[in-house]
A and B are shown apart, each in its own frame.
Chain A
Amino acid sequence: MSDIDLNLQIWRQKKSDSPGAFETYALDKISTEMSFLEMLDVLNEKLTKQGLDPVAFDHDCREGICGMCGTVVNGVAHGPEKEVTLCQLHMRNFKDGDTLVIEPFRSRAFPIRKDLLIDRSAFDRIIQSGGYVSVNTGGTPDGNAIPIPAQTAELAMDAAACIGCGACVASCPNGAAMLFTSAKVSQLCLLPQGQTERKQRALDMVATMDKEGFGNCTNERECEAVCPKSISIRNIARLNREYLMAALSEG
């Protein structure tokens, strides 16, 4: 355990349509036991006490599952440690005297609302266009009536683990949302429950993804590299296949 001094450069922007700029803040004696968000809390308390506007940033669960937090730290979504969200990133990953450039997740489809806080509702609209099995409540068969091999369940779970944080989009040089979309399509196309709507789902979700202004995938693999839940681009391959089959027969 030790304390470090940091130099922060944080993107400040008042509203969606106002211009933004970097502000520099010096922060001393940050315990390396702190999480990144706790470091920002300390900064915000300090700013508040100085009568300045604290930095707006999204967060909720602070244990890496809700997908609400996330900024780009020195060019890397969720910062330098692998497989963690920003809220799980601890300050021991940094050294005394480091400069941290902190920017919001940027994408044409994720407008900035204030400072580091963005609007990811485009993700919701992708799910709304088909990321479900159309069953109403009640009248469903017994859970064991649909046997699912353990391996299949595990593969589906690998994909379903996505927390929708948007780091994939933020890190993609093209701002593509393929990893996110493919995770949901994969989960459902692997499971027997998802078969009925399989083709339409792939077509609709991809159409929405394109409409929302995300870029095209060029297989850069950055998304997989920063994903806090290690969602694999194997899901993207699966989506490509699903889409092709669907487009050739139903599109």
Chain B
Amino acid sequence: MSQADLSVEMRPGLVGKRVKRTEDPRLLSGNGQYVDDIKLPNTAHVAILRSDQPHALIRDIRVDHAMDVPGLIAIFEAADLEGEVRPAIPSSRIKGYYATPYWPLARGKVRYVGEPVLAVVAESRYAAEDALALIEVDYEPLPFAIRQVDAVADDAPLIHEEAGTNIIIAREFGRGEVDAVFETAPVRVGAQFRMTRKTATSMENRCYLADYDRRRMAVTLWTSSNIPGIVKDALADSLSLPGARLRVIAPDVGGSFGGKGSLYHEEMLVCALARKLERPVKFTGDRLEELTASSQAFDELIDAELAVDEEGRFLALRAEVIGDIGAYSIYPWTAGLEPVQVVSFLPGPYRIEHYRGRVRGVLTPKPPTGPYRGVGRPSSTFAMERLVDMAARKLGMDAAEIRRRNLIDGEEFPYRTGSGIIWDKSAFMECLEAACAHLDYPALLERQKKAREQGRWIGIGLSCYAELTGIGSRIAVAPGMPINTGTETGTITIDSTGSVIGAFGIASHGQGLETTLAQIIADELGCALEDIEIRQGDSSLVPMSTGTYASRSAVIAGGVAIKTARVVKTKVLRAASILMDVPVEDLDASGGIIRARSSNAAMTFKELANAVYMQMGRIPHDKREDLTGSESYDPYLGTACSSCHVAVVEVDPETYGVRVTDYVVAEDCGRIINPMIVDGQVHGAVAQGIGAALLEEIHYDDEGQLVTASLADYLLPLATDVPDIGIVHIEADLPNNVGGFRGMGEGGTIGAPAAIANAISDALSPLGIEIQTLPATPDRLFRLVEQSRATHLQKGQ
């Protein structure tokens, strides 16, 4: 237990307490409502015929046999929706970028296996699939380059001819005299790093239900999305509907991790079809569709080099990155989201004067890459932290010591990195020390030494990183994206019965935001937790909203909850002052009761609401005001959230399986709202990082077909793959933000792959093995060990 934990306990109020979640009773008793649980009368079901070709022209579609299937309503191709749907354009301010248009169905050409081609609509999903099975599509295959190294070549076949190139985005960041410093640097380390393609894989597959209200000519979409506000704005444009006639609701959502955080073809499709058919239309994705047609992640080739002096101080860093962005630039984040962040975050939490990062995003016939927990930073942290360990090894320096010498600290904050990111004060160094202390680092090194003497492959790996969270309006969450993701609106209403309704633009999908925002409001407003209902995940609640992503909700929605609650509290106390005949300054509220400090006078929120709204004359008519407030909050800049992970692994010399035996995370997420929820986020994110480090891999063969198309092939971490995770909370002050919260939902996924890769490299260091590709599957490790033994043998001869 760290010191900081004590301070959590000592705080008055609910913020900082392990408050049990208000979401749980409904979810635990089977009363949750995910999109597929919603049943509307007369619903038509869509099955989607998807391309089985990576790159081809659609020559002919034959549906005759399908038309006789009982229950079939209609079959639609792109041409049938012409003029009814406009494409979504993922625009960006980045120069030279080409925005690939997003349509509901492929128009004339398919660009990846899994791309929607036809919508088969029937009275049941069973009937729709029966009909789908009888449709024949003739394709004329086109040449393609499935790997990014081939797709960047000048003569590579083009995925979007209109773009004139496959490289639709390129950026360069840097400062200083990088090449000159490298030339004279005493120590240089470098390699090509790669985290292979992966996908978010929430347990609920994507699901959409659209309803059309003929009376109002209005569309309501229920979507398993974490960005209902962005989806609404995109659909308003695409369907040419005013916002008043379009409502997008994300009810209970079964996880996203970014995979449900972009606009999808099928969302556009069900809305267009519901309007056309004038009845509800539902699409329920299955796991195969999730794996072949949801956004994917990572897949950059990172050639990176670090220059270091004899004392282990970092002098310069340079990198060339090619990101395989798939066949489209994702809406709204653009193709820059993942690869550009790799070069902007590569320098990490370290002091590095000279830096150059160049990135190119290249089109290949695969589903687009999009947001996935950590975005870009799992890969950048993996590359950087590997370089740090390689440098330490070359210098014979301890892994913790080399980090200590280079982490930004003390007076150096705020620090501007070589790519232009500004780190505000965060506990970089404290996290490193706390993580090492938690595991008793020196004892750990001893234990490893003994194990090594017995010939066991045990390794210790560290990783340090920082991320920008709760980003305000100064910069877009995705580079160059023109949507404002930095503002959040909140509305709090006390109604005539004394219920407190807080409405926000965020969209919780497992984070427990209904609980944490209620904790904040209860503290600030002084009402009882039980009287609060948090509404979220619904575009109709506030004038403009986006959703929950990029570790923004606790920071920005938490901030606006505080601001709004303060406004409402002022009104509550003003009314109470009249009703109780006590000066405002003498009143305070907590736990649902308004009390006078100097007398026994008290009244409940319920009594107050009743008096304000229902009892004529209790408050003079010219003094009466509704107990409501609506505010917005924009932290303007983002805030740094930092962390250090330490992993201990053992590699089995027979099976080459890797077991993570010990794990600790020391993290600074600012002021903690609910430590139980923070721990849960860390555990879950680290488990995903372990998946990325050891198991999860989306693999396309040379024919452009997805080989890992089921959960038996795309391996997710099980309870037996994840160890107990130790967590140390460090709550560094954050004076500039309302509430002092930092975002922390993504971090575990950023730190874990690097820590594990470093631990495996450490375990296999007697063989001189440096992990460069993740996941470190038994197959990859076996080959590395064989290679190393062969080289040693050769050298020996």
A and B from one assembly?
A: no
Binding site for A on B (CB under 8 A): none
